[in-house]
Amino acid sequence: MEQPLLSEKRSETEESERLRSYQYVGRTGSVIPTTSLAGAEVSIKEIRSATSFSGHYPPSIHAPFINSPEPLPNEEAILHQGPYTTDYGTYSNDFRRQLLDEVEIRELLIDHIHAVEDCNVYVGTLETFLEERELVSETEPYHGGNIDGKDKGPELGLWDLDLRSQFPALYVPYKETRVKILRSETVEKCSGCAGRGDIACPTCNADQEPGFYKQNQMSRCPACYGRGLIAHRDGSDTICTNCDGKGKIPCATCGSRGLLQCKTCHGSGSLSTLKIAIIKWKTLSTRKVSVTSGAALVPDEIFHRAKGVQLCNTQASQCSPAFFADSFFLNQFSFDVIQDRPFIPPTAWVICERHMISVVPVTRVTMSRHRQFFSFYIVGLSREVYLKDYYPARFCWGLCPCLEWLKT
């Protein structure tokens, strides 16, 4: 049951709460249940940079609809003190007929609607989930023992590997695993040392032919310059402690052995080569955003707050464009998204694809009177109302009592 206007002033706390909730109010009527979509995922940069589409758009499914809120329980009636009041403080029938009801108030507001504009944002995505396999060879020093070679059976092919135990959830961004190819191991002679396990010292045998070296190569002592004695200023000599008086020292690199251990095979002279399969699961995404002409003028916080709905969500081994019987725009938009399918490497195969089209509905309503304008927004399928800061403080046309319920 509707209540008349308040007869008492609200407290400062109630007034503060009322003003704080004025900028953003929600619809108090029933809300259409919709699939919650990440409308905030649409970045403002995408909206600003998207090409405006001036063609036909689907009929608005979020037309403005505002219900009056329930009256506050502590509100009291204001009794009119005049000829229309009876002895008991109630209105006469003549005066009741002059009171405006909610329908009449809405009719008055409709007369001031200047424009209703769709500021919808359409987001189309195509996710391609694929598996890529690549074969590489890895070598390591072979120190003896059994090998898993072809003598134990035929070598498994790259795509013959059973990886069901490691298969990830569909549409994961990225996952990689490494698997040894069975019966692919071979043993070969180390090419770095020709199977010897050692290489000639590059310091004392730098001028030797490959495969040849000399042992016990000595170099002149840098402390005594080969004399074996250290001269002092008083004319005396002492034995050089660096070379023990010999005047020569062994090679600092190999100790005059003439050989160094091969770093490739760690002295074993042989290398074991094994084939490794690198398997990558990843999702390649194509994303396209289409906005209407008025979307660039919508405040940023509107899109951050808005929640949209999925218009289509299909999955197949290879998706085809969606079909909307009543919208050429959506058909063309879906076709463009599919046409931008990412490049598939030749070493990969597509497991499945998922195609989605979503819309974030935002309607901008512009009111006018005597060449003065203000706008408010109806956001999402829940039809939440967003009023700009400057109304009605700067523009009041006598309609403040009519719109007062929007702020409660």
Domain-located, residue 163:
no
Nearest to 24 by CA among 397, 403, 376: 376
Reported pTM: 0.58
> Residue 16 — pLDDT band, cuts 50, 70, 90?
very low
CA distance 396 to 370: 11
336 and 378 part of one domain: no
State which of 324, 340, 360 marks the end of a domain: 360
State which of 360, 378, 397 marks the end of a domain: 360
Q: Which residues contact 231 (CB under 8 A, 6 or more apart)?
A: 237
20-31 per-position pLDDT tens digit: 443 444 343 333
* Cα-based distances in Å from 226 to 215, 217, 243, 246, 256: 20, 15, 9, 7, 17
305 and 351 part of one domain: yes
284 and 346 part of one domain: yes
Domain-located, residue 395:
yes
Element (H, E) at 256: none
pLDDT at 325 over 70: yes
284 and 350 part of one domain: yes
Domain-located, residue 238:
no
Domain-located, residue 144:
no
| Structure-block tokens of residue 298 | 């919508």
Domain-located, residue 350:
yes
Least confident of 161-170, 179-188, 293-302: 293-302
pLDDT confidence of residue 218: 85
CA distance 408 to 403: 10
The total domain count for the chain is 2
367 and 381 part of one domain: yes
Cβ-in-10-Å burial (0-12, 13-18, 19+) of 142 comes to buried
284 and 335 part of one domain: yes
Percent of the chain with pLDDT over 70: 68
371 and 347 part of one domain: no
Domain encompassing residue 395: 101-120+361-407
324 and 387 part of one domain: no
State which of 321, 339, 360 marks the end of a domain: 360
CA distance 400 to 394: 11
318 and 386 part of one domain: no
319 and 350 part of one domain: yes
Domain-located, residue 392:
yes
321 and 393 part of one domain: no
Domain-located, residue 112:
yes
Q: Helix, strand or coil for residue 11?
A: coil
Is the Cβ–Cβ distance between 309 and 34 less than 8 Å? yes
Least confident of 99-103, 333-337, 354-358: 99-103
209-226 mean pLDDT: 81
327-349 per-position pLDDT tens digit: 999 999 999 999 999 999 999 99
Domain-located, residue 239:
no
376 and 325 part of one domain: no
| Structure-block tokens of residue 104 | 């009449």
